[in-house]
Amino acid sequence: MSLIVQKFGGTSVGSAERIKIVAERVCATRREGHDVVVVVSAMGDTTDELVSLARQVSRRPPPREMDMLLTAGERISMALLAMAIEEQGLDAASFTGSQAGIITDTDHGRAKIVDVKADRIREAIAAGKIAIVAGFQGVSTALDVTTLGRGGSDTTAVAMAAALKAYACEIYTDVDGVYTADPRIVPNARLLHVVSYEEMLEMAATGARVLTLRSVEFARNHNVPLLVRSSFSYASGTWIKEEDERMEQAIISGVTHDTSEGKITIQHVPDVPGIAAKVFRTLAQEGLNVDMIVQNVSSAGLTDISFTISRDDGERAVEIITRLIPEVKAEGVTYDDGIAKLSLIGAGMKTHPGVAADMFSALADAGVNIEMISTSSIRISCVIREADVTTAVRVVHDTFGLSEESVIRETHPR
């Protein structure tokens, strides 16, 4: 008998009807003989509604109180799920983040888990109960209620699975799993059966919305096998786990895209040491996260520095850079929010030269201009025009034959 952690997101528990369906699913797993710990998010739009209420009473809600407010959301969904499970004849008990022993730092709104003291969860399991745990929340070392920020419920689930040494952490969502590309853009995108942690990290970092970077990192660090699957179907989903010599290895796992970033270029900066450091340290100090950075080759002692940044932060970044212009002796700064980032990800890339060349050729043949390039050992990312993104994703997906399993997968020698 193994222990399985199942996490259900806001859409999966979006109504009383949906909660009953989730309860059936949880009970089925329990009846198969597994111990089950369930982690839930707040129902559907609850969090948005609570944020809206906060904005009505306060221009800048204090983070401690915002956390107190938002954690009401999971409290509702978890209690309802426990009721729905008991209605089906099995024992259940719900636990807040605090009761479940999710201990965090005191950084309200984006707290980090520092410890998991899951004694009450272990007791509930030992008593034959299905334990329901509030996602997204914890209690700080100062005994205040905290939230874990975006994707927090996934992180709770992974942390619980790690603490309880679960066989697997199943992430139930509104899609069937991880695809070779966004199926809304590429209709013949294929569901991946298995992806390594490293590949999933690159995919999450480059636009795949199915899992947050943070929860995948947590899973990798604690070696928790993840299974992403739909709460709306019984499709088998996608496993995310340690790369394994015996598993079939894909050269390329998928194509991702991201249209949430803009590009900032600092023009004609003197090509002397310290300029880039100055720019990016200042941005970091202001709390702005920069994604791709490219510095072009110098001509006549002057160079351009370009980087991408979330469009939400674009305006602030331009202001900051503008103030820096005299100091770094730049000619000016431009901001372009009409870009998209296209990425090709695959663990097999490391041992297969020529992937980048094939990708660039395919884009060129389709008339898509590449504005920036950045790579890791298992990823190639290009910045292109946002208007080209659909064409680009399709042509790259097609070039690498990602819709056909047999073509792009090879069995690794045992």
Q: Which of 45, 61, 107, 409 binds a copy of itself (CB under 8 A)?
A: 61
The amino acid present at 281, given as its one-letter code, is: R
- Dihedral sign (CA 198, 204, 208, 210): positive
- Least Cα distance to 206 among 292, 271, 145 occurs for 292
Among 4, 23, 159, 160, binds a copy of itself (CB under 8 A): 23
Taking CB under 8 A as the rule, does residue 64 contact a copy of itself?
A: yes
Residue 174 Cβ vs a copy of itself, minimum distance, rounded to whole Å: 20
H/E stretch holding 119 reads helix 119-126
Q: What is the DSSP letter of 110?
A: S
> Exactly one of 2, 58, 298, 299 binds a copy of itself (CB under 8 A); which one?
58
Torsional sign, CA 327, 329, 330, 333: positive
Q: Is 72 in the site for a copy of itself (CB under 8 A)?
A: yes
Q: Bridge partners of 336?
A: 263
State yes or no: residue 99 binds a copy of itself (CB under 8 A): yes
- Is 130 in a helix, a strand, or coil? strand
Q: How many CB atoms lie within 10 A of CB 55?
A: 11
Q: Residues 24, 87, 319, 365: which binds a copy of itself (CB under 8 A)?
A: 87
* 36 lies in the site for a copy of itself, by CB under 8 A: no
Is there binding between residue 79 and a copy of itself (CB under 8 A)? yes
Which of 29, 45, 51, 68 lies at the binding interface for a copy of itself (CB under 8 A)?
Answer: 68
DSSP state of 206: T
Among 51, 54, 185, 276, binds a copy of itself (CB under 8 A): 54
Part in contact with a copy of itself (CB under 8 A); list of ranges 52-60, 203-211, 238-246, 310-318: 52-60
Task: Measure the CA–CA gap between 348 and 351, rounded to whole angstroms.
Answer: 6
**Contact set for a copy of itself, span 114-173 (CB under 8 A):** 120, 143, 145
Picking from 80, 66, 129, 57, the residue whose alpha carbon sits closest to that of residue 100 is 129
Sites of contact with a copy of itself (CB under 8 A): 16-17, 19-20, 23, 50, 53-54, 56-62, 64-66, 68-69, 71-73, 75-76, 78-84, 86-87, 92-94, 96, 99, 120, 143, 145
